[in-house]
Amino acid sequence: MKFGKEFAAQMVQEWQEAYMDYSNLKSILKDILRFKQMNKVPSPMAATTKGSLKRRVSFYRAFSGLTSRYRSGSPMQNNEDEVILVSAVQEAGREGDYQTMFLMSGEKGGQYELVFFRRLDEEFNKVIKFYKKKVEEVIVEADQLSKQMNALIALRIKVDNPVVEGADMVNLAANGLSSNSSSVVHPTNGGKQVWTRMDTIQEVEMSREGISSEEIKEGNDREKLSGAEANIQGFRPAPLDVLDHVKINCEPETPLSTLKGVIKTSKSDLSFSRQELRKAEEKITQAFVEFYRKLRLLKSYCFLNQLALSKIMKKYDKITSRNASKAYLQMVDKSYLGSSDEVSKLMERVEATYVKHFANGNHRKGMKTLRPQAKKERHRITFLYGFFSGCSIALIVAIIVNIHARDLLRSQGRHQYMVNIFPLYSLFGYIVLHMLMYSGNIFFWKRYRVNFSFIFGFKQGTELGYREVLLLSTGLSLLALAGVISHLDMEIDPRTKGFAVLTELIPLVLLIAVLSIMFCPFNIIYRSSRFFLIKCAFHCVCTPLYKVTLPDFFLADQLTSQVQAFRSLEFYICYYGWGDFRKRLNKCEESEVYKVFYIVVAIIPYWFRFLQVCLRRLFEEKDAAHGLNGLKYFSTIAAVAIRTIYQFQKQKTTTWLVLAAATSGIATIANTYWDIVIDWGLLRRNSRNPWLRDKLIVPHKGVYFVAMVLNCLLRLAWMQQVLGIQSVPFLHNTALIAVVASLEIIRRGIWNFFRLENEHLNNVGKYRAFKSVPLPFYYDCDGDKSV
């Protein structure tokens, strides 16, 4: 892989505008090369023989990038000072910038090289400013985490040994023994085990600071003899009086805590309970992991840009036959980008602190948490979803052949089957189709480097890839299709006057199995992803008592496209609860209660979104846009309710027809506009890409116009009800309903990609590459708060 592609692949996508523009600099070098070839500009080393300019083909060439920078005795070394002069700018407002003076601008084609160095200086100064700004931010954050750790250690002492005072208490704090660690030994045991454990933890942390184990032992011996604090650099007792200036709010966000916050009765005092300590440890642990990830990305940013500078300067030397790279790269080494070591020191200190205070001195365990391994692609997953896909296709073919061979489409029991059995299995069809669309979304998000795992807030290493989603969807489709092919009996048994009970219960058993797997507490079948989905669904149900996050409202948007699936669940309850499933009979549509819930079930997903955007977000953010979005969902609720009422009417009246068409038309226009303009960020008239937006991820612009047209067309699926199209010659009414519902799911799948693309670009524009982690302790000294 060429370096340019590798450079782009390893970027932090949210920071891509802050990286050096390698491709642009490379294009300038191509212009220089093209000019030299067209004008046959002689090489600056024309005095040498022609053959001496050719590189020798040897293994040395593969390592030139590592050695040429420090190589001495080069024939061009004497001319390097005559090529460029690099110096720091002393002008007001430009302190810290670097400027390169090109001394060969008078040569033929020198103006191109002058443009190159000006552009190079701009990129280098941009990188330094961004890096310095981010380093300053992490230093401030490190200070906040230090204060949090002081409060946590003091709280540990208070919880573990509330009656112990003096040196023993300080020693426990100095060595960071966890409250839930089996190695915590109270002073009543004589102290031998405590000091053995202290020796181990001290060696882990102090070895990074250059302090030998002998010095540690000497300090421990002095402390044992005197009973006072060991005078070892880096170890300070955690003063308990820090708790006098700290408030805590470790209550998890629940509907009850939200209500308490509204009436200003949220818990803010320290009760020194073990549960309080556990919650504080969980929050600070999460903060340390996220902070360490930030440091790693900063270090990678620094390294990649230095490597890009080295590569581009060596390309310049190669094209121009000069030796300017050494002088420029020496300046890079002396600059803040090359000489600062704050990030490296912070990483070492975070590692030592985390290992000591949260991993009980186990370095491997601590680093496993701080540096989670990338999830490996397993061949068996690819094999299994391929196998399940093949089996599903085979079952579809078998079902088609079976229907054709037995002429089931003309069977007398066809209508009874479509009314009673088809809606049961269509539920699994909706779920499988949605999962297939989501797997396609993941595939293209990864292809175009949309950081979906960060946007959704998935725990690193646990997010599902498109292969895993395909595995789940094809596995579910295989089970559902197997149930269908075993459930194709159209005619009732004349002897028993009913159908086989076991056969009729297959859909219910399958549904119970799916729900059981979904809520299974054991660590099987992607438990973390299942629980994440359940948590988001619970937040949607409890809206607006939870703070609205992107995963929550994204899931609520998905639910609005699964209205027919919710209605199928309602049919399950009615059919197996009050119907005669042995004879495939139900009186659901004759029940007024069923009709009411048929409307309510369809409204619930839109009601969730209405509460999220209109109540919670409008109340918190005071943004009028959320009020407009709430009106959009309210119009959709009205349209769905009126259309459903019109559908249930036996004698269609003109009044209800006009109401259904008007409300549906208004809702369609409002939703389409919001999809394309607000959610996708398109239809920008004055953008660099007319009628799209300034930044696009997909290189083919036509894709965006096709998506907009498809969104508009698929939004019009409701016209099927208003126009009275209840069936077509080759489709039953229930099958037509399933097709319309499937079109909505496909529309939602298309919407998902562009919605997340727009969110990703917003994060890129604001350089948001990390999630904020709430900290448990609040310092209220002098009215200030450290969060």
Tens digits of residue pLDDT in 710-749: 999 999 888 877 766 666 777 888 999 999 999 999 999 9
Paired tokens of 724 = 């009275």
pLDDT at 232 over 60: no
CA distance 680 to 425: 34
Which of 162-176, 460-474, 740-754 has the lowest average pLDDT? Answer: 162-176
14 pLDDT band, cuts 50/70/90, is confident
| Residues whose CB is less than 8 angstroms from the CB of residue 262 and which lie 6 or more positions away in sequence, other chains included | none
Hey, what long-range contacts does 583-592 have (CB within 8 A, 24 or more apart)? 583/492, 583/497, 583/498, 583/499, 584/413, 584/416, 584/417, 584/420, 584/421, 584/492, 584/499, 584/504, 585/420, 586/419, 586/420, 589/648
Higher pLDDT pick, 178 / 762 = 762
CA distance 91 to 458: 47
pTM for the whole thing? 0.78
pLDDT at 200 over 60: no
| Residues whose CB is less than 8 angstroms from the CB of residue 579 and which lie 6 or more positions away in sequence, other chains included | 420, 585, 586, 587, 588
The pairing of beta strand 246-248 with beta strand 98-102 = unpaired
For the stretch 291-338, pLDDT in tens is 998 899 999 999 999 999 999 989 888 888 888 888 888 888 888 888
| Residues whose CB is less than 8 angstroms from the CB of residue 265 and which lie 6 or more positions away in sequence, other chains included | none
Amino acid at 464: L
* Mean pLDDT on 740-767: 89
Nearest to 693 by CA among 704, 702, 681, 701: 681
CA distance 640 to 603: 7
Amino acid at 776: P
Which of 448-452, 483-487, 638-642 has the lowest average pLDDT? Answer: 448-452
Q: How far is it between the farthest Cα atoms of the chain?
A: 108
Q: Which of 165-174, 186-195, 238-247, 332-341 has the highest mean pLDDT?
A: 332-341
pLDDT at 195 over 70: no
pLDDT at 770 over 70: no
| Residues whose CB is less than 8 angstroms from the CB of residue 553 and which lie 6 or more positions away in sequence, other chains included | 609, 612, 613
Predicted pLDDT of residue 767: 60
Q: Which helix (H) or strand (E) holds 86?
A: strand 84-88
228 pLDDT band, cuts 50/70/90, is very low
* Mean pLDDT on 116-143: 90
Predicted pLDDT of residue 217: 44
For the stretch 238-270, pLDDT in tens is 567 777 777 777 665 665 555 555 555 444 456
CA distance 466 to 438: 8
440 pLDDT band, cuts 50/70/90, is very high
Give the dihedral sign, CA 542/745/431/597.
positive
CB 176 within 8 A of CB 357: yes
Q: Which helix (H) or strand (E) holds 778?
A: strand 777-779
For the stretch 34-92, pLDDT in tens is 888 887 666 555 444 444 444 444 444 443 343 344 443 344 444 445 677 777 776 65
* Mean pLDDT on 341-348: 90
Q: Which helix (H) or strand (E) holds 6?
A: helix 3-9
* Mean pLDDT on 179-185: 35
Predicted pLDDT of residue 430: 97
Predicted pLDDT of residue 252: 59
CA distance 725 to 720: 5
771 pLDDT band, cuts 50/70/90, is low
* Residue ranges covered by each domain of the chain: 3-136+292-340, 380-765
Nearest to 19 by CA among 303, 294, 293: 303
Higher pLDDT pick, 369 / 445 = 445
Higher pLDDT pick, 238 / 368 = 368
Predicted pLDDT of residue 253: 60
461 pLDDT band, cuts 50/70/90, is confident
Q: What percent of the chain has pLDDT over 70?
A: 77
pLDDT at 554 over 90: yes
Predicted pLDDT of residue 59: 40
CA distance 333 to 323: 17
Paired tokens of 187 = 């002073």
pLDDT at 779 over 50: yes
CA distance 453 to 133: 26
CA distance 643 to 661: 8
Q: What are phi and psi of 183, to 5 degrees?
A: -90, 0
Q: What is the mean pLDDT of the chain?
A: 79
Higher pLDDT pick, 494 / 253 = 494
Higher pLDDT pick, 765 / 126 = 126
* Mean pLDDT on 102-106: 69
Predicted pLDDT of residue 221: 46
Helix pair angle (110-160, 342-358), 10° resolution: 20
493 pLDDT band, cuts 50/70/90, is confident
N- to C-terminal Cα distance for the chain? Answer: 44
* Mean pLDDT on 749-771: 82
CA distance 264 to 334: 54
pLDDT at 160 over 80: no
